[in-house]
């Protein structure tokens, strides 16, 4: 199958290699530029817990102290794995949605009240406001930015035309917006008539459906190979 990967190369390289080894054609079509927001280093001891809704927030995390025992709530397994690779060991992962993450935090120990929420400059779910309503004290810290990519190289255009996509993997609403805009800009719509767009939330699925994408499937990050095998064999 011909599969489009939309995340930056640093986030996609290992997964792309796994798909390549499995016999798939991998096509890299990044939709966002992710960059540091130059956050001030934080002291983890100032908070009862840290919240991460993206592995990007983990990548650009800066801390003053070397204490990595602070409780960390993660949106999913990949974000948790990124934290563990940084040496954090007191981590808890939700099932891949921000709503599930919110419920884990709300149902955590009673002494967890003072939170730091590490996130990007554009978010689709105001987790901080919802937790404030639940009685938590929370500091929102923007530590990375995302900028849409709306231009493709001639080489990328030629590859996409030569290998019409069967699958496109989308990991955020902003990425979905950029992907849809590029498809329209470069007149790829007809090429992608039979493309299944895989995304990680109902909100993204609703957006894609509103833009005319008929074949949209949900998946959890880390389960891409299994999900695509199901689509291929189903």
Q: Count the Cβ atoms, other than its own, within 10 Å of residue 218.
A: 14
pLDDT in tens, 139-197: 999 999 999 999 999 999 999 999 999 999 999 999 999 999 999 999 999 999 999 99
* Boundary-marking domain end, from 129, 146, 163: 146
* Boundary-marking domain end, from 95, 130, 146: 146
C-alpha span between 130 and 234 (Å, rounded): 39
pLDDT in tens, 28-59: 999 999 999 988 999 999 999 999 999 999 99
Tell me the whole-structure pTM to 2 decimals.
0.85
C-alpha span between 28 and 155 (Å, rounded): 11
140 and 220 in a single domain? The answer is no
58 and 136 in a single domain? The answer is yes
Q: Which domain holds residue 176?
A: 2-31+150-233
60 and 131 in a single domain? The answer is yes
40 and 132 in a single domain? The answer is yes
C-alpha span between 176 and 209 (Å, rounded): 11
110 and 26 in a single domain? The answer is no
Number of domains in the chain: 2
Q: Which residue has the higher pLDDT, 105 or 229?
A: 105
* Boundary-marking domain end, from 96, 129, 146: 146
Whether 124 has a pLDDT exceeding 80, the answer reads: no
């Amino acid at each position: 199958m011909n599969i489009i990967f939309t995340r930056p190369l640093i986030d996609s390289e290992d997964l792309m290699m796994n798909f390549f080894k499995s016999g798939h054609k991998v096509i890299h079509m990044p939709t966002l530029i992710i960059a540091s927001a130059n956050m001030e280093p934080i002291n983890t001891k100032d908070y009862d817990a840290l919240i991460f809704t993206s592995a990007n927030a983990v990548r650009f995390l800066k801390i003053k102290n070397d204490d990595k025992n602070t409780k960390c709530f993660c949106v999913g397994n990949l974000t948790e794995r990124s934290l563990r690779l940084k040496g954090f060991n007191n981590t808890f992962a939700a099932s891949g949605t921000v709503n599930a993450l919110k419920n884990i935090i709300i149902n955590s120990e009673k002494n967890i009240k003072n939170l730091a929420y590490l996130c990007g400059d554009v978010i689709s779910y105001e987790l901080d406001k919802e937790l404030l309503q639940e009685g938590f004290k929370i500091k929102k810290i923007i530590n990375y930015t995302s900028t849409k990519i709306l231009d493709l190289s001639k080489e990328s255009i030629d590859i996409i035309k030569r290998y019409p996509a069967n699958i496109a993997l989308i990991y955020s609403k902003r990425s979905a917006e950029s992907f849809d805009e590029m498809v329209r800009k470069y007149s790829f719509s007809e090429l992608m008539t039979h493309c299944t767009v895989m995304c990680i939330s109902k909100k993204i699925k609703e957006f894609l459906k509103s833009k005319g994408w008929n074949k949209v499937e949900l998946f959890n990050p880390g389960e891409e190979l299994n999900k695509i095998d199901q689509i291929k064999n189903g």
